Amino acid sequence: MKKSIRTVCEVTTGTLTVGLDLGDRNSYAVVLDEAGEVIVEGKLRTRDQDLRRHFGGLRPMRVAIEAGTQSMWVNRVLGELGHEVIVANPRRLRLISENPTKQDRVDAEYLARLARMDPKMLHPIRHRGEDRQRDVQLLRSRQALMQCRTALINHVRSAVKLFGERLPSCSADAFAARAVPKIPELLTGSLLPLLQEIARMTRQLKRYDRKVEELCAKKYPETRHLLQIRGVGPLTALAFVVTLEHPARFRTSRSVGPFVGLCPGRKQSGDRDPERRIHKKGDRYLRQLLVTCGHYILGPFGKDCDLRRHGEKIARQGGKKAKKRAVVAVARKLAVLMHHLWATEEMYDPLYNARKRAA
């Protein structure tokens, strides 16, 4: 930077607002004075020591950044230095993401001006604590390993089909053992190493599952309230708790549906208010787990309960996508129910609504 933020801050009075466009190596900073004029701008290294050198020991400033891979630790460092940090939701900032002349300097200035006028326009988000984030990464690592194993299994099956053979249907956990004797001799050299890798991944996934169960039992005992629901396992319960962090974060349980992206989007204009798909703006992994639970509840192994009856009622309405709508509706209702059980610590009654209507 041609002028340091420290030098400008020492000679300028009034409240300063900083827009910081974060990059992996370098970030661009734009500083506005109380009148909204740019008083200093330039690049700085995206490193802990550089941020502390530029922002340490200064009077508190309002700093706006976008959520991303670097935002969590930058938020923590600037917060420790006494500054007000606003983490903007990039999905809600079309002014920046769809700018035809997108530049780091322009993005940083937009962040600063929006933070100066009204921070709510940035749709600020709150990062999880480091402890919760570590547990979230355990779930993400398990998911990544699961996706790699699925890709390898699909590759092995398709390779065998090219030679006129078919591998037996079985679970992913049993695939490696069941597939070895069925591999054509011509493909033994190329596919056996992959089957060994699939077996190793399966063993690692079981270790992840044991770790998830251990976390539920010891670190997050509140998950026992969620595990009362048939179809909700330790993985979904843990993901729900670490993603939402605390039940008091939501004023009502119905707010959880939009939070995880399971509510329809809206595009109202005048008298038109068309029906739209779910907006999918929340945590993708948690949403996938809830939808999987919805499939189980409506599937052949699901037991009779209010959730199943609700989904069957929607499915009976007919139409090409009735079953899909039913699964999404059950997933949304399940999220609301899980939050309610977590917040109230009540015993779960599968047919509570049915009995209430009958009475």
Q: Are 44 and 27 in contact (CB under 8 A)?
A: yes
Residues 96 and 141 in one domain: no
Strand partners, 17: 32, 62
Residues 115 and 245 in one domain: no
Residues 203 and 251 in one domain: no
pLDDT in tens, 94-105: 878 777 878 889
Residues 103 and 140 in one domain: no
In degrees, rounded to 5, the angle at the alpha carbon of residue 236 between the alpha carbons of residues 348 and 230 is: 35
Q: What is the DSSP letter of 168?
A: P
Mean residue pLDDT across the chain? 89
Please give the Cα distance from 62 to 40 (Å, whole number). 15
Please give the Cα distance from 29 to 98 (Å, whole number). 20
Per-residue pLDDT, 220: 94
Residues 304 and 200 in one domain: no
Q: Which of 219, 243, 260 is the last residue of a domain?
A: 219
- Report which residue type is found at 117: M
Q: Which residues contact 279 (CB under 8 A, 6 or more apart)?
A: 258, 261, 263, 264, 265
Q: What's the CATH code of the domain at 36?
A: 3.30.420.140
Q: Which residues contact 19 (CB under 8 A, 6 or more apart)?
A: 29, 30, 32, 63, 64, 107, 108, 109, 110, 111, 112, 113, 115
Residues 238 and 276 in one domain: yes
Residue 211 has pLDDT above 70, yes or no: yes
pLDDT in tens, 123-160: 888 888 788 889 999 999 999 999 999 999 999 999 99
Residues 173 and 258 in one domain: no
Residues 52 and 142 in one domain: no
- Count up the domains in the chain and report the number: 3
Please give the Cα distance from 175 to 15 (Å, whole number). 63
Q: Which of 219, 253, 274 is the last residue of a domain?
A: 219
Residues 247 and 338 in one domain: yes
Q: Which of 122, 149, 170 is the last residue of a domain?
A: 122
Residues 271 and 168 in one domain: no
Residues 213 and 234 in one domain: no
- Domain enclosing residue 79, as ranges: 5-122
Residue 267 has pLDDT above 90, yes or no: no
- The residue written with tokens 């048939």 in the block is 230
Q: How far is CA 2 from the centre of its chain?
A: 39
Per-residue pLDDT, 164: 86
Q: With bands split at pLDDT 50, 70 and 90, how would you rate the model's confidence at 31?
A: very high
Compute the Cα dihedral for 52, 55, 56, 62 and give only its sign. negative
Residues 287 and 190 in one domain: no
